[in-house]
Amino acid sequence: MRIGVFICHCGTNIAGTVDSRAVAERAAELKDVVHSEDLIYTCAEPGQAAIQRAIKELGLTRVVVAACSPHMHEVTFRRCVEDAGLNPWLFEMANIREHCSWIHADDMQKATDKAYEIVKMAVAKVRMAEPLFSEEVDVNKDVLVIGGGVAGIQTALDLADAGLRVTIVERQSTIGGIMAQLDKTFPTIDCSACILTPRMVDAAHHENITIMAYSEIDRVAGYVGNFKVDIRRKAAMVDWTKCIGCELCMQRCPSRAPDVFNSGLAETKAIYIPFPQAVPKRAVIQTDYCRWFQQGKCRVCERVCPAGAIDYEQKDEIVQRDFGAVVVATGLDVFPWEDHYPQYGGGEIPDVISGLQYERMLNASGPTGGHVHRLSNHEEPKTVVFIQCVGSRDESVGRPYCSSVCCMYTAKQAILTKSHCGMDTEVYVFYIDIRATGKGYEEFVKRAQTEFGVKYVRGRVSKLYEEEGKVIVRGVDTLLGNQVEVPADLVVMASGIVCAEGAPSLAQSLNISYDEFGFFKESHPKLRPVETNTAGVFLAGACQSPKDIPTSVAQASGTAAKVLVLLAKDKLKTSPQIATVDQSRCVSCWKCIDVCPFSAPEKQELRDGSVKSHVIETVCQGCGICVATCPVNCISLKGFTTDSLIDQIEEALLT
């Protein structure tokens, strides 16, 4: 066995704390190590060339690179050694950057000793390595897009235009998402619906796109290239194959229900279509509010429906579909400020509303027909105050992050206030900092301040209370060092962004990671920003982090490109790090079959008539649960054998 060891400096990232040369010198003394050197940047072209040269000239049969995390460059180096003729699985990485130099900047000697020991463990592991070979599996080229907001629509259209069949699953009864609720978009002030609704129609008419609205993901099984997904078509109590979207039922329905699309500013009917441009335009009965379901009488909708579409007996239906890739584009919800800011009235003051409510109020097809008025007396406001960072950058409500869109939508709403209510309307914005980093954004905020005369006050608002028909906004102007009180007619919260309801449980069904706020975690923030750590599952839009429309759309197209890269191949190579059964020792207890989350082990009849466990190579995902479960230790996980783990532990403990 001829092992080569390469210790990276990573510029000063490693060498600033770890004496890489000393580590290389000490590693040269290890058993079976025939070559050991230090390189400035191992991952760069000269570094990789040095490894390949050493493999060829010195006949190395195993390689260890001590550098960054294997999550960063393991794939790079496996490819590198493979190109030099070595089996890629005879390579091992020692993580001396993230797990050593970067966390032990205080003591170079100790860090160097530790780096050496980490290298020693990797050498012990690579000594046990065996050449492994991948299998190939067929790839299903259909794509599932979860979420039909602007990001999901963009990804779906891009993929469908490229010739792939796409299914959009949307839990509301129409696609469109939050963008459909918006009046105008910053910084151009174009009409949100005018941009979005044609795209919605494009998606609906595209021959390669199937929209499954009012549906949710029930269960996801399988793996990259071969996902099996159970989709729950929720009971709409309306047969959508018959419904023609004429709204007659909605006009005649006697039961009222809160209008979620209008952010609770108005009422709708128990049977409803969220907005006139809905896609698909189909009615849904909200059974909680329906007189028939609650009191057992009515059936008005059934009588008036010209298509005979009403079906009170309808049940949820589970539809099974197979996909090769999944794009998650579940978007965002608005921070429920009422539950967290008692000092702002906690939703009890009628003239204090959320940014999204104001958006509906500004909208010509909204509940007020685009007329801005106070909810208390329906008069046009003379003084409007916007409060920024409500549920953003506020650790006291558990939201330390910036929601990234509120500065801009506030500037937009401030400008629109002036154009709706007249330039003589007093408009104040209380802010912490203005974050206007997009193209044309800073100029837009400047326009609000100079051209429209919006008064920006730097400081937090401490309290809102009602007095003599006004909402008193009490805060501080930190630039002047003054207490400020503004008697306002209307106060608008620039409510922050939170993850969509149910995001963590969706992440759990997809086996992807999410952060403490429920935003899904990308595979690498810079190098793999739309991939997740689960192969074949991708992210688009605000489900990953708060984003505005341009960024969501840009990311969504990037996601489509990444999906195309994956599905451009007819067959996928599977990881060879999988479980294998030593059938001569298998006692046929089937515990492996019980525990495997992927149904990889199967019963196999051998020639002597005995039935033993056998792991299907292309199904196994290499978790090793069966290995730790097998009572006779007859299952081994390639790449993570028990012996190799014990050897590493031993090396870690030898001084």
Partner 1 sequence: MVASAQNKEAGSAAVSEGVVQGRPIKVVAILCNWCSYAGADGAGTARLSQPHDFRIVRVPCTGRVDPLLVFKAFEKGADGVLISGCHPGDCHYSEGNYYARRKFELLRRMVPHLGIEPERFHYTWVSASEAARWQEVVTTFVTGVAELGPREGRAL
Output 97 or 269, the one with its CB closest to partner 1: 97
Q: Is 70 in the site for partner 1 (CB under 8 A)?
A: yes
Residues 193-232 as x/- pattern, contact with partner 1 by CB under 8 A? ----------------------------------------
Q: Does 623 bind partner 1 (CB under 8 A)?
A: yes
CB of 507 to partner 1, least distance (A): 7
In the structure encoding, which two tokens stand for residue 510, read together? 């997809």
Q: CB under 8 Å to 182, separation ≥6 — which residues? A: 192, 359, 363
State yes or no: residue 351 binds partner 1 (CB under 8 A). no
Minimum distance from CB of 636 to partner 1 (Å)? 11
Nearest to 14 by CA among 36, 49, 34, 42: 42
Residue 200 tokens, joined: 């919605």
Considering only residues 45, 57, 106, 468, which one is a binding residue for partner 1 as defined by CB under 8 A? 106
Q: Which is nearer to partner 1, 210 or 533 (CB)?
A: 533
Name the pairing type of β-strands 267-269 and 271-272. unpaired
DSSP states along 164-220: --EEEE-SSSSS-TGGGG-SEETTTTEEHHHHHHHHHHHHHH-TTEEEE-SEEEEEE
CB atoms within 10 A of CB 201: 12
Q: Output Rg (C-alpha) for the chain, integer angstroms.
A: 30
Q: How far apart are CB 655 and partner 1 at their closest, in Å?
A: 7
- Quote the DSSP letter at residue 458: E
- In the complex with partner 1, which residue's Cβ is closer, 368 or 577? 577
From first CA to last CA, the distance across the chain in angstroms is 24
C-beta of 195: minimal distance to partner 1 in Å? Answer: 33
Look at phi and psi of residue 295 and say left if phi exceeds 0, alpha if psi is from -120 to 50, else beta.
alpha
Nearest approach, Cβ of residue 633 and partner 1 (Å): 8
**CA 391, CA 401: separation in Å to the nearest integer?**
9
C-alpha 92/C-alpha 81 separation (Å) is: 11
187: cis peptide before it, omega within 30°? yes
Residues 555-594 that bind partner 1 (CB under 8 A): 577
Q: Which stretch binds partner 1 (CB under 8 A): 68-76, 159-167, 236-244, 465-473?
A: 68-76
Of 574, 560, 572, 570, the residue nearest 621 (C-alpha): 574
- Binding status of residue 95 toward partner 1 by CB under 8 A: yes
Per-residue contact flags (x/-) with partner 1 for residues 388 to 427, judged by CB under 8 A: ----------------------------------------
Counting contacts by CB under 8 A, is residue 110 touching partner 1? yes
> Distance between CA atoms of 136 and 589, rounded to whole angstroms?
30
Q: Examine residue 114 and tell whether it contacts partner 1 (CB under 8 A).
A: yes
Q: For residue 538, give every residue at least 6 positions away whose Cβ sits within 8 Å of its Cβ, in sequence order, or none.
A: 325, 326, 327, 328, 530, 531, 532, 559, 562, 563
Decide whether 101 or 392 has the Cβ nearer to partner 1. Answer: 101
Work out whether 641 is an interface residue with partner 1 (CB under 8 A). no
Is 628 among the residues that bind partner 1 (CB under 8 A)?
A: yes
Question: Of the candidates 78, 104, 412, 418, which one interacts with partner 1 according to CB under 8 A?
Answer: 104
Regarding 105 and contact with partner 1 (CB under 8 A), the answer is yes
Q: Which is nearer to partner 1, 24 or 623 (CB)?
A: 623
Report the nearest approach of partner 1 to the CB of residue 511 (Å): 5
Residues in the chain: 655
Tell the smallest beta-carbon distance from residue 627 to partner 1 (Å): 6
Where in 513-542 is the site for partner 1 (CB under 8 A)?
A: 513-516, 521, 533-534
Alpha-carbon separation of residue 240 from 179, 200, 274, 321 (angstroms): 24, 18, 15, 20
- What binding mask, one character per residue, do residues 117-136 give for partner 1 by CB under 8 A, x or -? xx--x---------------
Measured CA to CA in angstroms, residue 40 lies from 155, 353, 485 at distances of 41, 58, 61
- # binding residues, partner 1 (CB under 8 A): 54
What is the x/- site pattern for partner 1, positions 593-612, by CB under 8 A?
--x-xx--------------
13: amino acid identity, one letter: N
**Chain residues that interact with partner 1, rule: CB under 8 A:** 69-72, 95, 97-100, 102-107, 110-111, 114, 117-118, 121, 507-508, 511, 513-516, 521, 533-534, 577, 595, 597-598, 621-625, 627-629, 637, 640, 642, 645-646, 648-650, 652-653, 655
